[in-house]
Amino acid sequence: MLPRSLFFALALSVQPLLAGETSALHEYFDNTLIWQNRASGAIGRIWLNPDGRYYAFYNLGPQPKAPDVHGPFQIEGRSGTFTMRNMPAGSLLCLWPSSPRAELKAQQQRELYSEAMCYTFVLHSVGDVWDDSADPLHRAYRFWLVKGR
């Protein structure tokens, strides 16, 4: 994770996309970006909306103790707003969770897109599958951009 001071310096030094440039994200709107942490097996999904809102969901897999009578899986999520920012080396997806900012298990495990911060982001098309180490800890992830929600 980036130190807070470096995060804010990066956030202030990059330029957000202009309203007309949101078309670069058109493949993500009304579709689902899925990722899987190759080491932990945790899976997440994020929906990006044209109005700048996002919804992220995390399936952390079987837990040592079942959270309720419905099974041993822990699924949690959050919503918030996002911006895309262009930098000379590429784009950043900056997430700002809505209040209240309850700490999630995914956040404790530092899963991708669980923190209020900027993440490196490469645009893809629906149907693409790719591997990347997009999180600040440079862990390996597999990504899918799938049609629909």
- Give the three-state DSSP class for 148: coil
Residue 54 — very low, low, confident or very high, per pLDDT cuts 50/70/90? very high
Q: Tokens in use for 23?
A: 């078309």
pLDDT more than 70, % of the chain = 66
Q: Tokens in use for 149?
A: 């929600």
Residue 69 in this model has a pLDDT that exceeds 80: no
In 29-119, which residue ranges form alpha helices assigned H by DSSP?
105-108
Contact 140, 111 (CB under 8 A): no
Average pLDDT of the segment spanning 122-135: 89
- What is the pLDDT, as a whole number, of residue 42? 83
Average pLDDT of the segment spanning 106-125: 82
Q: How many domains does the chain have?
A: 1
Contact 113, 32 (CB under 8 A): no
Q: Answer with the residue of higher pLDDT: 33 or 10.
A: 33
Residue 120 in this model has a pLDDT that exceeds 50: yes
Residue 149 in this model has a pLDDT that exceeds 70: yes
Q: Pairing between strand 118-121 and 129-132?
A: unpaired
The angle at the Cα of 53, spanning 48 to 59, to the nearest 5 degrees, equals 60
Q: What domain range is 124 assigned to?
A: 4-147
Q: Round the CA-based radius of gyration of the chain to a whole number and report it.
A: 15
Report the candidate in 89, 93, 86, 88 with the shortest Cα–Cα distance to residue 114: 93
- What is the pLDDT, as a whole number, of residue 76? 67
